[in-house]
Amino acid sequence: MGTPLHHDRTGAPRTQWVMAEPVIAAVAAHAAGGVAGVVRLEPGLTGLASQVARSARQKINGLAPAPTEGVRVRTDRSAEPPVVFIAVDLVTSAQDQAAAMAYAVQREVTRAVADATGLTPRSVGVSITDIELYGSGTT
């Protein structure tokens, strides 16, 4: 939600928009999932615990949770503008070069988050948790 800060030179109130971490994670998840070679996003143990808690809170509040599996976002709001750190856990296909695919995920996530929120992530870490030999669910 926007909150009035103070007035600008014209006397109009200025507004500050705050992006919640689940929103940034949903944008990042969508971008990462669209990269060639990414079979699926898959949360590690830390991601699973966060995902369960976030989904429960959203369901209690009557919200449909956006898909954020496999993405963790941390923001430092003490900086101006806020600093965003993103971690993506994924499964890749054995037919693609892992390093090139991970770099493509970093580029796409950075671009998508900057386009959607105006915040350029300070870092996008990519962890490959598994490699599917046939890309069809068989590991």
How is 51-110 classified by DSSP, letter by letter?
HHHHHHHHHHTTPPPPP-TTEEEEEETTSSSPEEEEEEEEEEETTS-HHHHHHHHHHHHH
- Inside any domain, residue 117: yes
Asked whether the predicted pLDDT for residue 139 surpasses 50, the reply is no
Instruction: For 18-52, write each residue's pLDDT tens digit.
Output: 678 889 999 999 999 999 999 999 876 555 455 55
Average of per-residue pLDDT across 48-77:
69
pLDDT score of 56: 60
Cβ atoms of 124 and 110 closer than 8 Å: yes
CA count, 13 A, side-chain hemisphere, 124: 27
Q: Measured in Å, how far apart are the chain's first and last C-alpha atoms? A: 43
- Inside any domain, residue 42: yes
Structural domain tally of the chain? 1
Instruction: For 81-119, write each residue's pLDDT tens digit.
Output: 889 999 999 999 988 899 999 999 999 999 999 999 999
- Inside any domain, residue 4: no
- Inside any domain, residue 6: no
Here the CATH number for the domain that contains residue 78 is: 3.30.70.1350
Residue labelled with tokens 């990269």: 35
**Structural domain boundaries enclosing 79:** 18-132
